[in-house]
Amino acid sequence: MNQIVLANNVHATTRDANTRQRVGVTTKYVRRADDKGGWLGVKPLFPYKYDRVYLCEYTKLIMLRADSKYTAFKVMDGNGEYVGKEVALSNSNVPLYMSDVGPEKSGAIVRVKYSTLQDNVESKIRRLFFRQQWAVATFAGLSAQVTLNSVWNGIYTPIPPGKHKIMAPDYSHAHVSTAAYRAAHPGKVLCTDVWFPIALEGTKVNSTRYLHVGHVSEGCVTFYELLKWNPLYDYLINKRVPNTAGKFIGELIVEL
């Protein structure tokens, strides 16, 4: 392996002056490679069932080593299952998708105000009718129509009022197809596989409710107004609440 040129250097000394060496850490932050999904695929350097794992933007990494083809990193924060694991990125992609700029060390605030419950709402994109619990979300001086529930089978319910926590993205939700939403506004609805988990008031874990884009909500805060998704994504993704190991992004305040 080639020696890494380390930034933010600190110095370590030993009793033998001839063996003194510089020790340091190079910190990098992920940038997305895919505008559609919003994730960066990297090579796992640990036993895994797939040849790629995916990291969201602003995930903190520490550079470990490099050879002629790959640079190895350790995942340092976030909500994904890869925290503490080693991953690799091709040397040619390091300057493209690794940045020295980290997230803002301040929390986001998204407010949601319940609106009407409406039956037989047609989603022309999904070509189906739903009963929608409407609400209005406000953030960063913008507002957007959201739905808090579309599936009324006794399993899902609208999110309760309260002061909840917005968590950093956990994993790619590409298994839930959002291609139709992107196709409805070509090039204008991005990063649709990035969902932000919600920790309900009084908890610190993923409630399986999310902030995400779409026309169908299973108890989530679902951005029905598709063209407002990009501004929300941009507002949330580069924020991390200090002293939370990159797990939390901010607050979700829900009111009746």
Q: How confident is the model at residue 157, as a pLDDT?
A: 98
Q: How confident is the model at residue 52, as a pLDDT?
A: 95
Q: How confident is the model at residue 25, as a pLDDT?
A: 86
For the sheet with 70-75, list strands across it: 53-55, 40-44, 86-90, 70-75, 60-66, 27-30, 98-99
Residue located via tokens 């200090």: 242
Indicate if the alpha-carbon torsion angle 192, 174, 184, 40 is positive or negative.
positive
Whole-prediction pTM = 0.90
Residue 109 and residue 141 in contact, taking contact as beta carbons nearer than 8 Å: no
Q: How confident is the model at residue 23, as a pLDDT?
A: 47
Q: Please, what's the b/e burial string for 70-93 (b: 16 or more CB within 10 A of its CB; e: otherwise)?
A: bbbbbbbbbbbebbebbbbbeeee
Q: Which helix (H) or strand (E) holds 96?
A: helix 94-97
Please give the structure tokens belonging to residue 148. Answer: 């808090």
DSSP 37-70: T--EEEEESS--SSS-EEE-TT-EEEEEEE-SSE
Q: How confident is the model at residue 7, as a pLDDT?
A: 36
Residue located via tokens 């992004």: 249
Beta strands 98-99 and 196-199: pairing type? unpaired
Q: Across-strand partners of 103?
A: none
Beta-carbon contacts of residue 233 (< 8 Å; ≥ 6 apart): 38, 190, 191, 194
Q: How confident is the model at residue 211, as a pLDDT?
A: 99
3-class state of residue 17 by DSSP:
helix
**Closest to 48 in 3D by CA, of 21, 81, 90:** 81
108-255 folds as L,D-transpeptidase catalytic domain-like (2.40.440)
d(CA 87, CA 84): 10
Q: How confident is the model at residue 190, as a pLDDT?
A: 97
Q: How confident is the model at residue 20, as a pLDDT?
A: 37
Residue 219 and residue 149 in contact, taking contact as beta carbons nearer than 8 Å: yes
Q: How confident is the model at residue 162, as a pLDDT?
A: 98
Ordered per-residue pLDDT tens for the chain, 256 residues: 343 443 333 333 333 434 334 446 899 999 999 999 999 999 999 999 999 999 999 999 999 999 999 999 999 999 999 999 999 999 999 999 999 999 999 999 999 999 999 999 999 999 999 999 999 999 999 999 999 999 999 999 999 999 999 999 999 999 998 999 999 999 999 999 999 999 999 999 999 999 999 999 999 999 999 999 999 999 999 999 999 999 999 999 999 9
Using the 8-state DSSP alphabet, how is residue 85 labeled? -
